[in-house]
Amino acid sequence: MTKLKFNVDIATLVTQADDLSTFLKAAIAADLVETLKGQSPLTIFAPDNEAFSNVPAGTLDSLLKDKEQLTSVLTYHVVAGKHFAADLAKQQTLLTVQGDMLEVHEHHWLRHGIKINDAAVKDANLECTNGVVHIIDAVLMPK
């Protein structure tokens, strides 16, 4: 699978991607933008705007008002290190920054062949100076 390389940090990539504006809004509300600019390599499973629109009515508004819970949900989408799609296909689980595990499932009929929990990877391997972003089609909720 192709790696698209961007000479920007994760925060800048998210800021420039129109389909990640809700993820950006949530990251700002949770004070996580500086983390997305940091030096540590991170892998972000970023739900696109459509994924956020599928969250039950009121849930997103509630999360945006509860910084602690919002931070927990967003950091559940973050894994330490750079994990490209080819690497993910070899994993069964990933430890999130939030502390819970994500399940990795390989599905050959999907565009990028990977599901994280129940979310399909829609766009993979967006490599940044401080990590990699995979755009997913659902918001992941910690257990």
pLDDT over 90 (residue 118): yes
pLDDT of residue 106: 84
| Full-model pTM | 0.93
pLDDT over 90 (residue 5): no
Q: Of the given ranges (55-59, 93-97, 104-108), which has the lowest mean pLDDT?
A: 104-108
CA 86 to centroid of chain Cα atoms: 17
pLDDT of residue 1: 47
pLDDT of residue 111: 63
Beta strands in the chain (DSSP E): 4-5, 42-47, 78-80, 93-95, 101-106, 114-116, 119-128, 131-136
pLDDT over 80 (residue 6): no
Looking at the structure, give the CATH architecture of the domain made up of residues 4-136: Roll (2.30)
CA distances from 96 to 54, 123, 133 (A): 23, 20, 14
Q: Averaged over 88-114, what is the pLDDT?
A: 86
The structural domains of the chain, with segments of one domain joined by +, span 4-136
